[in-house]
Chain A
Amino acid sequence: MPGLGASFGRGAMTNHWIDLKNSDCILVMGSNPAENHPCGFKWAIKAKEKGAKIISVDPRFTRSSSIADIYAPMRPGTDIAILGGMINYAIENNLYHKEYVLEFTNAATLIDPQFGFMDGLFTGFDKEKKTYDRATWKYQTGADGKVMEDRKLQHPHCVFQLLKRHFSRYTPDMVSKISGMPKEKFLEIAKLFCSTGAPDKVGTMMYAMGWTQHSKGVQNIRTATILQLLLGNVGMPGGGINALRGHINVQGATDFALLYHDLPGYLGIPSKKDHPTLKDYLEKTTPKTGFGSNKPKFFKSLLKAWFGNAATDKNDFCYDYLPKASGNYSHMALFEDMYAGKLKGFLVVGQNPAVAGPNGNLERKAMEKLEWLAVIDFYETETAAFWKAPGVNPKDIKTEVFLLPAASNVEREGTYTNSGRWVQWGFKAIESEADRKTDGWYIYQLGLRLKKLYAESKEKKERPILDLTWDYGEGTPDAEKILREINGYAIKDVKKDGKVVVKAGENMPIFALLQDDGSTACGNWIYSGIFPKENRSKNRKPDKGDTIGANLGWAFAWPANRRIIYNRASADANGKPWSEAKKYITWDPNAELPDGKKGKWVGPDVPDFKADLAPTAKKEEKGPFIGIGGRDAFIMRPDGKGGLFSPLAEGPFPEHYEPVESPLKNLLSPIQFNPVVKIWASDMDKLGDANKYPIVGTTYRLAEHYLSGSASRNLPWLCELMPELFVELSPELAKEKGIKTGDNCTIETARGKVKAKALVTERFKPFNLDGKKVHLIGLPWHWGYMGICTGDIVNNLTAHIGDPNTFIQESKAFLCDIRKGG
């Protein structure tokens, strides 16, 4: 998500599921949608039946590959090399979309003259601290303070030339040597996908954990965004980058800041060091230009939603109540702290880290050090039962464990936000039996009971709990009441141009009317507009007939019911469609506005732009769209341009590095792996080398089981389909190791070992890496020791290695060995 955010301005899927049908070419890479998103994959199949080509790039031949027109194999962890090679191919062969690149990206912008890249490192690397000083990673400004440009794209320090030089090293031969993808296969997919650089062709990408779970996961996605910007595929129907979410409401969870670094609506958690006051926070984190400049309105409305009347201008709207971040609270960091004995208690809701967490041996060992553990789930998961795992003596465990019965999703009502940002209401299908309660009930009751406990307290530190808005009815919280708070409401009358547009007490119609003076409250600004009068997530009016598929009458999509974001870019610089075939949002100079003026953006979707800002308009000098001109399609970026150049932890351009555990020396530079990667180093965090562990291992999911299997391994019909853990390997490796299909095998890494049945298949092939033969094995990770079909925990093999931007684990590429028996 930060990869998308850095390039486009929002960390979200650009298009939506149904829109896949509008594509001419679909690159399925880092995902396996036929198995993990079968319902959505229908739209890719529909595109194919209309003539689109599907490309499957994957270390192994999957059920998605079976549908694809081309399958191209690759070694896990080499996505940047392949996508970088495609960037080079598009530029070298003049296949990029020149007008789009010039008008809608920062290609013309000049970069600081001191900026450079040498021997695998960008300027500003601190070898001791293993971090970058980003001082030179910035735009060059002239004497007038304005950003300098070369619209001919020839200046050696303009973004386009820097990008071209950077990726010129990614030749087809180099790509093939690194990735093991045969050169002719690479050329075939590069030619096909880059053909969508033509104005009347559009290509899209579908990715999931195959891109994110790497030591450079964010940069994998950044590389993809650069290619899509070069080809003019962003903001287009059938285009964009589709981040496929792993279950029903991951997008919603992310939007509501279930990750530690954020607040709802991607506002960012305040830092203890840098943001002691509200003023510090807003000044340092609010962009001066672009739509993000409205942040104070969204942030203060959030504080009003949370702390109501207690939040006033005089007390910084209770900014002091918010916890300030002073460390790394990501999944692996928390478990490392737990293992070090720094955490006392652990509340687990809807998660099963004993199976799903990397370095499973460490994570389960860490739980032994807790004083208490509470799990809310509808089965006794491996996490709830960590104290009776194989090899653990319950007598040795001091942790007090509580298992609280949860109601399933069909026993509750509320919204689900899918990958394409569609927020859909789910109705309750059945009443809960026995003592099962919804997750919402537990959290709500916890809040109510804490408030009761502190009711008499006069202490200041208790105020956040006592002042918190927590009024959602009796027993189970009323989901619609919560949704209304999320949508926002006026506390005082909201005026625009002297007229009252929202009366006090009314719901906000849209986030654009939120105020920074405490007169509005809003629990999550990006969802504002979902509940203006009626609950729009309940809308169920699909498009009639064979349309482009925006379906504006079906549910609500954030932001503002837009289905394809950045859709201003679906029209050329002058607001005309790039081609009749791909016409979407266009400028109609004759359309009348309510105030009698003429000219607005029109089309089958909600324009992602200031509705009446003409394509020829200069940059706005004030107002909510400050700094945005008629050709600045990426309104959430300060410069309004798609970021070909955009700083992240590793640099402003992506660079291929090897996975931390790799069988190959980096062929591109002396820097072996991500120089700013986070590797934890407790006594249970071990790394393996290729001498002892010469085989590349990877993990994945199957259609038949769901995540850690806590639900699906308790369903007999699903256990029947996939009863046991297996390991997939090529006939070549099987021959070397004397393994046959059905044999028991042991797979080992520096962290642990698992037993699995062998499945020898032609769908796996050894890679030829610069003349060196390297084998691959793969394991689905659904099994554990609870439920009715059990098996070893594959995450015992994986490591606590984290991407430096997100701290997601590198579980898609590691070193291992396999032997018969066990």
Chain B
Amino acid sequence: MAKNAMLIDVSRCIACRACQVSCKQWNRLPAVKSSFAGSYENPSGLSSATWRHVRFRETVEKGEVKWRFLSFGCMHCKDASCVFVCPVPGALTRRDDGTVYLDEQKCTGCKYCISACPFDVPHYDDAKGKVYKCNLCADRTANGLTTACAKTCPSEAIRFGDRDSLIKDAKSGGKKIYGENELGGLSVMYVLQESPSFYGLPERPAMPVTTAFWKKVLKPLGYIGVGATVAAIILHYIAIGPKKYKGGE
């Protein structure tokens, strides 16, 4: 099956943040009451009500200012840690089209995915008791539409399409792709102008060791026993330990 993907070419991004707003509009996410945060970046990052967020990075190099932007959300990994650790069948799945889908109805709010994600994407909503993140507009793409953010992007920095053709296009333009092979291949890829860490992305994203251990050893074990959920909670505590998370604001 053809894989859906987004390729974000940051050299075209003008940080208008239309992606951030159109995501909220399509997914009916509320605005968060914000206050001046000391930069153009607001709210300050992803949350249960903000699934796409534009990062602003400012620096001076050889006397010249550089101002770079990154439209950021779920990367939709092939080797998705969140899917591996999720104890509830069907709550987090990687679909054949490349979407890592979080089913709000099935999510129990255990927050394992929050701990496991190498990109710090899923966020917990205190009021609803569930975790939320970008679903790559699965309700749109299933009906032949592009993602809301790609549709809105005025400078065509965010492009949605078939993963292979997006990669081919970018490579024919001599561009290096972040996410082509990382974590088995991401469904959201970047063409970057600086090093990944400049934008706050991991240089070499990898599944946390504990998650890999969980995937290979503990999770199958957990299913063997009765009361998988109870086991999972215990195992999670042993394997990963408690992790502080940012609640929904």
A contacts, CB < 8 Å to B: 34-35, 38-39, 41-42, 45, 61, 63-67, 71, 702-704, 716-724, 726, 741-742, 757, 759, 761-763
Contact = CB atoms under 8 A, between A and B. Distances in A.
B15 A63 contact: yes
A17 to B, nearest CB: 11
A38 B16 contact: yes
B60 interface: yes
Contacts of A66: 14-15, 66-69
A71 B64 contact: yes
Nearest to A722: B42
A41 B65 contact: no
B105 interface: no
Contacts of A61: 65, 67
A704 B17 contact: yes
Given A719-B31, A742-B36, 5 more contacts: A35-B16, A61-B67, A66-B69, A762-B60, A763-B65
A778 to B, nearest CB: 13
Interface stretch (B19-27, B84-92, B128-136, B209-217): B19-27
Residue of A65, A703, A757 most packed against chain B (CB within 10 A): A703
Given A720-B34, A762-B58, A38 B68 contact: no
Contacts of B69: 63, 66
Most chain B CB within 10 A, of A45, A64, A71, is at A45
B21 A721 contact: yes
A640 B14 CA distance: 41
B14 A38 contact: yes
A746 to B, nearest CB: 16
A49 to B, nearest CB: 8
Nearest to A719: B31
B125 interface: no
Contacts of A45: 12, 14, 155-156
Contacts of A702: 40
Contacts of B25: 717
Most chain B Cβ neighbours within 10 Å, of A61, A63, A726, A763: A63
A718 B32 CA distance: 10
B162 to A, nearest CB: 21
Q: What are the 7 closest A-B residue pairs judged by CB atoms, nearest first?
A: A716-B31, A34-B14, A720-B31, A724-B36, A66-B67, A757-B36, A703-B16
Nearest to B32: A720
Contact of B15 (A703, A716, A717, A763): A703
A718 B36 contact: no
B113 to A, nearest CB: 25
Contacts of A721: 17, 20-21, 34, 42
A763 B42 CA distance: 19
B25 to A, nearest CB: 7
19 contacts: A34-B15, A34-B16, A41-B154, A45-B155, A45-B156, A65-B67, A66-B69, A71-B65, A703-B14, A703-B16, A716-B31, A717-B31, A720-B32, A720-B33, A720-B43, A726-B36, A759-B39, A762-B58, A762-B65
B83 interface: no
Interface residues of B, number: 35
Nearest to B156: A42
Contacts of B36: 723-724, 726, 742, 757, 759
Contacts, number: 91
A741 B58 CA distance: 14
Count chain B CB atoms within 10 A of each CB in A65, A71, A718, A723 and give the residue with the most.
A723
B217 to A, nearest CB: 43
B236 to A, nearest CB: 34
A712 to B, nearest CB: 11
B16 A717 contact: no
B144 interface: no
A742 B14 contact: no
Contact of A716 (B18, B30, B65, B67): B30
Contacts of A717: 21, 24-25, 31
B38 interface: yes
B102 to A, nearest CB: 22
Nearest to A718: B21
A41 B60 contact: no
A65 B64 CA distance: 11
A345 to B, nearest CB: 38
Contacts of A34: 14-16
B155 A41 contact: yes
A261 to B, nearest CB: 35
B38 A723 contact: no
A146 to B, nearest CB: 52
A762 B11 CA distance: 21
Nearest to A36: B16
Contacts of A720: 31-34, 42-43
B197 interface: no
Contact of B18 (A38, A723, A761): A38
Contacts of B65: 61, 65, 71, 762-763
Interface in B96-121: none
A35 B38 contact: no
A664 B111 CA distance: 61
A250 to B, nearest CB: 19
A22 to B, nearest CB: 18
Interface string B129-158: 000000000000000000000000011100
B37 to A, nearest CB: 8
Given A63-B15, A65-B67, A759 B60 contact: no
Contact of B154 (A39, A63, A741, A763): A39
Contacts of B15: 34, 63, 66, 703
Contacts of B40: 702, 722
Contacts of B172: none
